[in-house]
Amino acid sequence: MKKTISLIFAIICTVYVYAQTGGGAVLEKEYHLFDFSLNASRLEAGITAGQVGSFTDRARFGLGAYAMYNGFYLDFIKADPQHKYNSHLTDEQYHDTAAFSIDAGYQIPILKWLRFMPLVGYTQTNEGITDGKSLNYDYDEGGGGSWYHDYSVTPGSRRHYFNYGGGLSIQPCKWFSVNLIASRYALYGGVGIDIITIAKHK
């Protein structure tokens, strides 16, 4: 984890040093080096996917979402119990784990297409029992739904963590971004679109 964070900071330092050279003058002119006005009036939303509860014995794959406005970033990623959405009835009771993480930060524009995000947040994991005998159906507004089993958290199994780390936001085009996050208790990525930019082009 420390090596990952060190690598991110090394990239930032390399770009900064290069900006002080003759080539850096061209780079700054073309890419607006550390130009915080690039964050203004940018409303971005997208999905996230990756590992929650990283570096613990309850690490799981999870899905979530994120939003960013004027550089302020917020995301959420969650891993449900392994057998919760199994649609088969069974006499078994599964010992499952679950986890979620919520993190916030601010995007620092290094280049026009590259932003660094220091992040802090909260991660929680737990253990519990998924009851194979209970099969319920959750209806949605569209007339569909999904089967799920009841899940009960084992008392005293919840673990709470202060999460911290950083990420990179890469913007290959004006309306689209790819995020890579490396934090103490979650490793994930995301893709999103700039809602304001798309709305202006409609």
Question: What CATH number should be reported for the domain holding residue 138?
Answer: 2.40.160.20
The per-residue pLDDT for 2 is 52
- Give the pLDDT mean for 155-161: 97
- Give the pLDDT mean for 121-136: 96
- Give the pLDDT mean for 144-156: 93
Query: How many angstroms from the chain centroid is the CA of residue 135?
Result: 31
Confidence tier at 17 by pLDDT (50, 70, 90):
very low
Give the global pTM.
0.79
Residue 24 lies in a domain: no
| Tokens 């932003």, located at residue | 115
Residue 15 lies in a domain: no
Residue 22 lies in a domain: no
**Positive or negative torsion for Cα 11, 13, 19, 24:** negative
Confidence tier at 32 by pLDDT (50, 70, 90):
low
Residue 170 lies in a domain: yes
Residue 73 lies in a domain: yes
Contact, 191 vs 179, CB < 8 A?
yes
Number of domains in the chain: 1
Six-digit token string for 160: 């709470």
- Angle subtended at Cα 45 by Cα 5 and Cα 40, rounded to the nearest 5 degrees: 80
Residue 19 lies in a domain: no
Residue 27 lies in a domain: no
Evaluate if residue 176 carries a pLDDT over 70: yes
Contact, 41 vs 70, CB < 8 A?
yes
| Ranges of H-type helices in 20-130 | 22-31
Q: Is 37 helix (H, G, I), strand (E, B) or coil?
A: helix
Range of the domain at 111: 35-200
Of the chain, the percentage scoring pLDDT greater than 70 comes to 83
Residue 28 lies in a domain: no
Evaluate if residue 9 carries a pLDDT over 70: no
